[in-house]
Structure 1
Amino acid sequence: MTAYKKFLLTWLVIMVIGFLIIFSFLYVSDQFVLPFLLFIFISQIFLSKIICPNCGAPVTYQGKIAGTRIYGGFLHRKCRACEWDLNKDLSGDR
């Protein structure tokens, strides 16, 4: 599976679980902020594990601003570090 497809699948799972957490805690309790924030930070850890097969940069890497590396959950088809097509295997046969 390509890094792009892994990222799409991970984002889909994160969004579904996130919406389920929000809706369930809205009906059960008013104190849903802490579990939701924990879920956001834990999901960022999973997203940072998906890396570009060419250069090894996380797919969440967005670039540099004033020398500081910026990471986010935005979906890009090309790696921001090396411009590698993330929807292509390293072997290049797809």
Structure 2
Amino acid sequence: MSQAASPRGTFQQIADALKTRIDEERDMVELPPVSVLMDRYDVSRGVVLRAFRVLRTSGDAEPVPGGRWRVVRSGDVVDSRPLEERIAAVIADDRLKDG
């Protein structure tokens, strides 16, 4: 990242670069860790998180437990319910019995 001030903002440049990667790398399922992007762009954690929020607003990524961010692709159906709710639904839908 250049040291000159950008009219678009550093966070927007990072968001744009990540969006380009998401579009080009169809097998990308997670955004890089915050620490990796902090080092790569020489920015603070807040700048990276602001870039992630841009991607969330545009529908390209969403946070997942553990501080990670998942890539969301148009047409993907993602069940974001907690695991215990998904398991309970499977048990109820399949009418499974204990034992």
TM-score range, shorter chain: 0.3 to 0.5
TM-score normalised per structure 2: 0.32
TM-score normalised per structure 1: 0.34
Higher relative contact order, chain-length normalized (CA < 8 Å, sep 6+) = 1
